[in-house]
Amino acid sequence: MLSHIHLKNFAIIENLDLELKSGMTALTGETGAGKSILVDAIGLVLGDRADSGVVRHGADKAEITLTIDIEQSSAAQKWLKEQALYEDEQCILRRIISSAGKSRAWINGSPCNLTMLRQLGEQLVDIHGQHEHQSLMKKDMQRQMLDDYANHQALLDKIAKAYSGWKQLNNKFEMLSNQNSDHQAKLDLLRFQTQELDELQLGEHEAVELDEEYSRLSNAGQLIDLTASSVMQLYDNDEQSIYSNITDILHKLEEASLLDAALKEPLEILQNTQIQIQEASDSLRSYQEAVELDPERLDWVSKRLSTLHDLSRKHQTTPELLFNKWQSLHHALSELDSDEYDLDALQIKLETSQSNYQKIATQLTKSRQKAALKLSKGVASAMTELGMEGGKFIIENTINKSLSAHGQDNIEFQVSANPGQPPKALIKVASGGELSRISLAIQMIAAQGLTLPALIFDEVDSGIGGGIAEIVGKQLRTLGDKRQVLCVTHLPQVASQAHNHYKVTKIKGKKTTSTGMLVLNEEQRITEIARMMGGIEITDSTLNLAKEMLTK
């Protein structure tokens, strides 16, 4: 329940701290005193859009802080925990609106956006405004009210998810159906291109390796002669080889190093050089033996390279990158040739998705029909109590063939305000007084189905009076026995039924006007109820009548 609200520089309120109690609380006051300001403030801190007009004249910002006891609201606790915003059983919402129109908000001290405020607010408070009958003219609002009454949010979430999945598949199916000829042409081309490269059986680095082999084979004779000559000069010529010459030098330096130790360093270098010359000679000899004069292999490599160059030009790449091109073509083919682009396979998926949607839609329809019967019966009974004897209220549900995110039901509220008249759509009810009472009946009965801890009624009793007003007051009090009800009213019959009574007063200064709020005791309530009954002066008889109303 709402436990405390603090307003600073909001509308014509300079500063207000108000403890909110359980049960039914009436908010009354003279016309223009600002009875609905409190409701507006609660709406804003629960995520309604705001502008700079809510900031008190002369102030730079308006502040609203609302404390809510969520001990009995498991849904709110769950949401807060999911958002990592839960602290304890007291939840504090705060919102600041600047005179420039900018807004900031917090939940338990953590910054949040308006969507988060609204999501949390939906778990805590339901506000019924005095102009709600206008929104009730819209079929979408009628469906939403029935869904709220039925309390089948899990089904609504499932149907929305099923519709989203079906919609994606349907859009893709339509797109592919329109592009099928182009798709098939692309598929045929990719198959031809990949088949041609598949037959080539190209290795990843084959082009580079073939280039190297071609260079070796085409110059084999020259390479053999060069290596043979090199080995002869380095090692095999016993008298004139570099190895023999270094050997002679080493013998001389070994003797000389005995005379001067400084010669040992060049001696070691030459010894290492001799070893490396021997190793180089062995390596060249092995290379010479490996190189072959193979005209047939040379011819094959030449033709293979020619094929690679031809295909590279065809695919607008180089021989070195032809293998990568082949892989990319295969990847593109696998994507276009998958079930995602197969119309037959996609149609099967689409039919399965639609079948799943239909099952959930049927469950949702049954749930709505069950709730509609109960809500219709309750509203019809409430209409009778509100002076519309013999009135009928029917919720008609026709099934659409088309799919939507909220199911296939077309919900329409129909009423007959007088006996003998056939039910007509709510929007066609001509009398404003009748429409107001019907709307009130719908709101009060629908509120009984809500599990929210707090309900707010903002002058929903306009257009009624007398004994009917007393009935409305009793019904609101009954609601207040199970949850918190805040009711802004101008009717003494309604206010007298409240468990608690707050009076909104306008305080006029020399330069400014502000609004205050008083918590009335029993004596003050009698005076306020007497004032609400009218008359220039409050007489003893009016006071006695007010006292009698409060003791009923």
Residue 69's DSSP bridge partners are 90
Task: Please tell me the predicted confidence (pLDDT) of residue 335.
Answer: 67
Give the Cα separation of 177 and 144 in Å (integer): 36
Owner of token pair 């009218």: 534
Task: Please tell me the predicted confidence (pLDDT) of residue 58.
Answer: 87
Owner of token pair 């009454």: 149
Residue 128 three-state SS? strand
Q: What is the mean predicted confidence (pLDDT) over 218-239?
A: 82
Q: Helices 114-121 and 74-82 meet at what angle, rounded to 10?
A: 150
β-strands 90-98, 513-519 pairing: unpaired
% of the chain with per-residue pLDDT over 90:
34
Distance from first CA to last CA of the chain, Å, rounded?
Answer: 27
Give the Cα separation of 93 and 95 in Å (integer): 7
CA distances from 39 to 35, 72, 333, 442, 448 (A): 8, 22, 62, 20, 20
Owner of token pair 């009935």: 471
β-strands 2-10, 13-19 pairing: antiparallel
Alpha helices in 339-399 (DSSP H): 343-385
Task: Please tell me the predicted confidence (pLDDT) of residue 180.
Answer: 58
Contacts with 83 (C-beta within 8 Å, 6 or more apart), sequence order: 107, 116
| pLDDT at position 134 over 60 | no
pLDDT tens per residue across span 91-130: 999 999 999 889 999 999 999 999 999 999 888 888 876 5
| pLDDT at position 383 over 80 | yes
| pLDDT at position 292 over 80 | no
471 CA to centre of own chain = 44
DSSP percent split of the chain into helix, strand, coil, nearest 5: 55, 20, 25
Owner of token pair 């807004």: 103
Task: Please tell me the predicted confidence (pLDDT) of residue 117.
Answer: 93
Give the Cα separation of 192 and 194 in Å (integer): 6
pLDDT tens per residue across span 31-82: 766 778 888 899 999 998 888 889 998 899 999 999 999 988 888 898 999 9
The residue among 543, 521, 520 whose CA lies nearest residue 532 is 543
Question: What phi and psi, each to the nearest 5 degrees, are found at residue 251?
Answer: -60, -45
For residue 521, what pLDDT band results from cuts at 50, 70 and 90?
A: very high
β-strands 513-519, 13-19 pairing: unpaired
For residue 215, what pLDDT band results from cuts at 50, 70 and 90?
A: confident
Per-residue exposure over 380-398, b if at least 16 CB sit within 10 Å of its own CB, e if not: bebbebbbbeebbbbbebe
Domains and CATH numbers, the chain: 1-124+452-520 (3.40.50.300), 183-336 (no CATH)
Long-range pairs, 155-160, Cβ under 8 A, ≥24: 155/360, 155/363, 155/364, 155/367, 156/364, 156/406, 158/360, 159/357, 159/360, 159/361, 159/364, 159/405, 159/406, 159/407, 160/405, 160/406
> Residues, the chain, total?
552
Q: What number of other Cβ atoms are within 10 A of residue 317's Cβ?
A: 16
The residue among 311, 305, 324 whose CA lies nearest residue 207 is 305
Contact 391, 372 (CB under 8 A): no
Task: Please tell me the predicted confidence (pLDDT) of residue 536.
Answer: 67
